[in-house]
Amino acid sequence: MKLLKKEALPILFEKINSAGKVIYAPVENHGQLVYQRVSAYDEVKKDYIQTVQSAKYVVFPKIEKLLDYQNSKDGTSLSEAVIDELPEIVLFGVRPCDAAGFDVLKAVFTWDFNDKFYIERAKKLTIIGLSCSKCDNECFCTSVGLNPGSTKGSDILLTKNNEGDYLAEIVTDKGQAMVSLCTDLFSDHKDDNKENYLTKVPVKFEKDAAIEKSTKSFENEQIWFDQAMRCLGCGACTYVCPTCSCFDIQDEGTSSKGIRYRCWDSCGLSQFTIHTSGHNPREEQSQRWRQRILHKYSYQPERLQVLGCVGCGRCSRSCPVDMNIAEHVETIAEIEL
Amino acid sequence: MDNLIKKAKELLENNLVQVVIGYEKGNTQKSRPVFIFKAENADKLIYDESCHYNLASYITRQEMRHTGKMAVVANIHALKAMLVLANEHQFIEGNVIALAVDGSSDVTELKTFSEIEEYIASHPVELKEKEKVLLEKIKALSKEERWEFWQNELARCFKCYACRAACPMCYCHQCTVDCNKPQWITVAPHQLGNYEWQMMRAMHLAGRCVDCGACAEACPLDIPINMLTYYLSESIESNFGFKTGTSATKLYVLSDYKLEDKENFIR
Amino acid sequence: MENFEPKIVAFVCNWCTYAGADLTGTSRIKYAPNVKIIRFPCTGRIDFMILMKAFVNGADGIIVSGCHPNDCHYTSGNFHARRRWMVFRNLLDIMGVDLERITFSWVSAAEGAKWAEIVNSTVDKIKKLGPYENYKKLADSQQLKEVIHG
């Protein structure tokens, strides 16, 4: 355990900047907390619970170019998007739930195919996490196998103590590399019990029960129908979620030149599964809602050995009609089979 | 509230409707939409100042098509939306019963289009103060400033379409943005895509928007897109005398024309 | 900008303005060559988004022109167009689009001279306004040259 004094933070930022890296941290923008590029520590929002949007766009932007194409009489030429010149990014102030979310993205993007766009960005990303001294009603990290001080996914995890200084756990080699930029800022510290500075997040449901019951509830149409009735079928929950990773690929341009890009897509949208024939296997919202829950609580655990939900609660906060995922999963976990 | 619950139970017990769409106590939010299929569940129904989501958006829902008759707890905006839907033949008169609520404990059952029209005529409504202020602020900006304002606001949009989903008037099975032959509006959430989407959305809602603000409330990124549709509502009323959501039968403003339509910009 | 030659796209109806433009030519009236004419059966068919596509594809100005009211070949197409343009123009106004760059007109098949005047005056106006930088920058966002970060 190291200690990072509060006066050291602005200096840490300066050191990171001079090393040519770019820092992203929570700032207030248009009345909301979002992760944005910052140059100095004083721009960072202090004392908050959670941002509205997740930080996943640093490894999975809302839109990115895949390739350029050009048609001429000699044929078609393609040039792939250049990704080796991406900057090194340091994400500062990421909550433990969000940090764990990056592990889920990694599982998806390196599962059966190595997504080079994700990989290149993830290689250049260092995560400085910040554990939670406060939580709200929507947080439920403790129900999905995490906790407010979890180091999963973070390269360095900071925990603020009562003096306003930060206990620093150097979790990975990348974290160590970050520390070596400014070793004098990190002093050795007698093992302080970080639990003293963490909030308590009440457990809402039992994780394994949630996984088991959701897996076995595929054919229980009533429960999905009941839960999904008010769901509007927009993509708000998907896009603010730190682990959702579905995307659409489109070509845009003229017959002579254009680009191919990928952008975020949502399984909640009605046309998500429409086939070229016109058939839509998920025509009703209850089917789409079922897919959302099962994808996170059944398919991903089974096939990727990772739970697809990190309990950040963003979806519940952003949903226009209060689709509260913890509430829904709690109901499922309590089904009598 | 008690009147509402009583009315709902009555309608369900006597099989006059198969579902009552109203509000219940929420979890993250103070209230949220609820679908009551059985009379014994009607006790969940509430109505207070936190209930402003426009429930008329559920009338055209896929699942509601096979449900049968429905009753909708309707504030003034939902009633206006119902008239626009009625105008566009989206439901048969009598199949959707409006339970008009106005913040008091009164609940007025409105079954026919003319009953709804009368109720609306006797309950004038204005934009909320906050909305008026923002609209005036944008109107006072110069042309260049307005461009910057919208470029700035729309930069963060990620095309979740919550605005479309929450709007009672957006019920197209396949939205223009979902069409790719031709691709009118790009799917992409880049700056141009976001700008074109809002432009198209405002035009497709011109003369149909009932100023409920559901779009801006639904937006997870707090982008004030309702300002665009409000501005059009205002200018359509002043140019053509057309008041959206006041008649189930009057021809839609852009399907109609008058020889006397006056403009000052065509040479 | 001395050397700036604006690109103008004209959306015209087949029966009146297109024929009128033809008359301009057969009458040997000289007018600015900056206009690309797109022929529609009627102004009533012109979708508002297609006007914006012209700007996206590099136009600095647009002209929309059709039959005079009461003279529409399809009786009422131009009446519907007139209403649509009034509404769309208001929307463009609140969204900050430069309305000076859009010219609406009624030009009949007999008004060859008027067509020339419309084109020439529009080209002069756009020359003074310069290239439509705002929209070009917006259209450029399609190239995704920079990665969007938050």
**Beta-bridge partners for A134:** none
Chain A residue with Cα closest to B216? A320
Q: How far apart are CA B220 and CA B204, in angstroms?
A: 22
Q: Which residues are CB-contacts of A90 (< 8 A; sequence separation ≥ 6)?
A: A16, A21, A22, A23, A24, A125, A126, A127, A128, A178
Q: Are C103 and C117 in contact (CB under 8 A)?
A: no
DSSP-based three-state secondary structure for B54? coil
Binary contact (C144, A63; C-beta < 8 A) = yes
Q: How far apart are CA A142 and CA B219, in angstroms?
A: 29
For C80, the token pair is: 């519907």
For B104, the token pair is: 């008091």
Mean pLDDT of C127-136: 95
CA distances, A256 to each of A68, A72, A312, B216, C53 (Å): 11, 7, 45, 39, 17
Question: Given this model, what pLDDT does residue C148 score?
Answer: 57
Domain containing residue B93: 2-121
**How far away is chain A from the Cα of C144, in angstroms, using its nearest Cα?**
6
Spans of chain A below 50 pLDDT: none
Domain containing residue C136: 8-143
In chain B, the number of structural domains is 2
**How far away is chain C from the Cα of B172, in angstroms, using its nearest Cα?**
18
Higher pLDDT residue, C150 or A320? A320
- Count other C-beta atoms under 10 Å from residue A42's C-beta: 10
Binary contact (A86, C147; C-beta < 8 A) = yes
User: Could you tell me if residue C44 is inside a domain?
Assistant: yes
Question: Given this model, what pLDDT does residue A210 score?
Answer: 94
pLDDT in tens, C43-65: 999 999 999 999 999 999 999 99
Say yes or no: C56 contacts chain B, CB-CB below 8 A: yes
Binary contact (B254, C142; C-beta < 8 A) = no
Q: Are A311 and A141 in contact (CB under 8 A)?
A: yes
Question: Given this model, what pLDDT does residue B179 score?
Answer: 86
User: Could you tell me if residue C23 is inside a domain?
Assistant: yes
Q: How far apart are CA C48 and CA A44, in angstroms?
A: 43
- Please provide residue A70's backbone torsions phi and psi, each rounded to the nearest 5 degrees: -140, 130
Domain containing residue A138: 2-333
| ipTM value | 0.93
User: Could you tell me if residue B22 is inside a domain?
Assistant: yes
Asked which of B104, B121, B138 is the last residue of a domain, the reply is: B121
Binary contact (B221, A52; C-beta < 8 A) = yes
User: Could you tell me if residue C52 is inside a domain?
Assistant: yes
Residue with tokens 């057309």: B242
Q: B97 and B46 in one domain?
A: yes
Residue with tokens 């289009």: B113
DSSP string of A174-239, one letter each residue: HHHHHHTTSGGGEEE-----GGGGS------S-HHHHHHHHHHTTT-HHHHHHHHTT----SHHHH
User: Could you tell me if residue B108 is inside a domain?
Assistant: yes
Q: B93 and B12 in one domain?
A: yes
Say yes or no: A240 contacts chain C, CB-CB below 8 A: no
User: Could you tell me if residue C126 is inside a domain?
Assistant: yes
B46 DSSP 8-state letter: B
Which residues in chain B are closer than 8 Å to A324, comparing Cβ atoms?
A: 27-28
Q: How far apart are CA A296 and CA A306, in angstroms?
A: 9
Binary contact (A36, C150; C-beta < 8 A) = yes
**How far away is chain B from the Cα of A227, in angstroms, using its nearest Cα?**
10
Chain A residue with Cα closest to B189? A63
Residues 135-154, chain B: which have Cβ within 8 Å of C?
138-139, 141, 143-151
User: Could you tell me if residue C148 is inside a domain?
Assistant: no
CA distances, B85 to each of A234, B61, B114 (Å): 21, 12, 14
In chain A, the number of structural domains is 1
Q: Amino acid identity, residue C65?
A: S
Q: How far apart are CA B149 and CA B141, in angstroms?
A: 9
Q: B215 and B143 in one domain?
A: yes
**Beta-bridge partners for A33:** A28
Q: Are A297 and A211 in contact (CB under 8 A)?
A: yes
- Please provide residue A28's backbone torsions phi and psi, each rounded to the nearest 5 degrees: -90, 130
- The alpha carbon dihedral of B78, B82, B83, B87 has a sign of positive
For B213, the token pair is: 């603000």
Residues 281-310, chain A: which have Cβ within 8 Å of C?
none
CA distances, C94 to each of A48, B223, C88 (Å): 36, 15, 10
Q: Are C148 and C141 in contact (CB under 8 A)?
A: no
In chain C, the number of structural domains is 1
- The alpha carbon dihedral of A128, A131, A134, A135 has a sign of positive
For A59, the token pair is: 């490894």
Chain B residue with Cα closest to A320? B218
Q: How far apart are CA A13 and CA A92, in angstroms?
A: 10
Q: What band does C25 get if pLDDT is binned at 50, 70 and 90?
A: very high
Q: What band does C1 get if pLDDT is binned at 50, 70 and 90?
A: low
Q: How far apart are CA C62 and CA C37, in angstroms?
A: 10
CA distances, C149 to each of A60, A88, A334 (Å): 10, 13, 41
**pLDDT tens series, chain B, 267 aa:** 689 999 999 999 999 999 999 999 999 899 999 999 999 999 999 999 899 899 999 999 988 888 889 999 999 999 999 999 999 999 999 999 999 998 888 899 999 999 999 999 999 999 999 999 999 999 999 999 999 999 999 999 999 999 999 999 999 988 999 888 888 888 899 999 999 999 999 999 999 999 999 999 999 999 999 999 999 999 999 999 999 999 999 999 999 999 988 889 999
pLDDT in tens, C83-108: 999 999 999 999 999 999 999 999 99
Q: To 10 degrees, the CA torsion angle through B144, B150, B151, B152?
A: 110
Question: Given this model, what pLDDT does residue C29 score?
Answer: 95
User: Could you tell me if residue C149 is inside a domain?
Assistant: no
User: Could you tell me if residue C3 is inside a domain?
Assistant: no
Q: B66 and B153 in one domain?
A: no
Least Cα distance to A149 among A127, A164, A134, A165 occurs for A134
For the domain that residue C112 is a member of, what is the CATH number? 3.40.50
For C129, the token pair is: 């306004």
Q: B198 and B173 in one domain?
A: yes
In a 10 Å sphere around its CB, with 0-12 CB exposed, 13-18 middle and 19+ buried, how is residue C125 labelled? middle
Q: How far apart are CA B214 and CA B168, in angstroms?
A: 9
Asked if residue C150 has pLDDT above 60, the reply is no
Least Cα distance to B233 among B220, B221, B246 occurs for B246
User: Could you tell me if residue B255 is inside a domain?
Assistant: no
Q: Which residues are CB-contacts of B30 (< 8 A; sequence separation ≥ 6)?
A: B48, B50
Q: How far apart are CA B38 and CA A194, in angstroms?
A: 51
Q: How far apart are CA B217 and CA B221, in angstroms?
A: 9
Q: How far apart are CA B217 and CA B29, in angstroms?
A: 12
Which residues in chain B are closer than 8 Å to A270, comparing Cβ atoms?
A: 62
Q: Amino acid identity, residue B50?
A: S
